[in-house]
Amino acid sequence: MKSQSKTFILDPRLENDTLLISSHASLQIRLMNDQRWPWIIVVPEQLEVEDMDDLDIEALQALTKCLSDISAALKRMNICSSTNVATLGNMVKQMHWHVVGRTQGDANWPGPVWGFEKAVPYSKEEVAGFMANFKKEFRV
């Protein structure tokens, strides 16, 4: 009997909290559904990858270039003055990176965004607007 190769399945919590923007070189680029911050989630479509050191060097370099390009895109959108970039994995083990636009005086400035009060979802129109602007600036 042939062994079945496993398929990448997005963690249900990430599926619930985020919206797919695009898939790019085996990296899912998703929008956190929380209008308090411009907040992008990047998920490598790889099995059994949790910590940064679980990635091989090629995947690590492609990922970090993508994160850097997202940081630059958020700043070009003029919706933040700096970015936080992080991988935590305390709540959801499946590797996912956060690129969060920050601005002095934002919802939890200068504290971290994680675990701070409740998400404020976008309307459908706001999601469409954000995605269109993001895609325009994220030209890599």
100: its two tokens: 């969060």
In contact, 38 and 80? CB cutoff 8 Å: yes
39: its two tokens: 């907040």
Nearer Cβ to its own copies, position 22 or 103?
A: 103
Closest distance to its own copies from the beta carbon of 2 (Å):
33
Nearer Cβ to its own copies, position 15 or 54?
A: 54
Closest distance to its own copies from the beta carbon of 49 (Å):
12
Looking at the chain, which runs of residues are DSSP E strands?
Answer: 18-24, 27-32, 39-44, 82-87, 97-102
Positions touching its own copies (CB under 8 A) are 50-53, 55, 57, 60-61, 64-65, 67-69, 71-72, 75, 82-91, 93, 102, 109-112, 114-115
DSSP bridge partners of 91: none
Nearer Cβ to its own copies, position 115 or 129?
A: 115
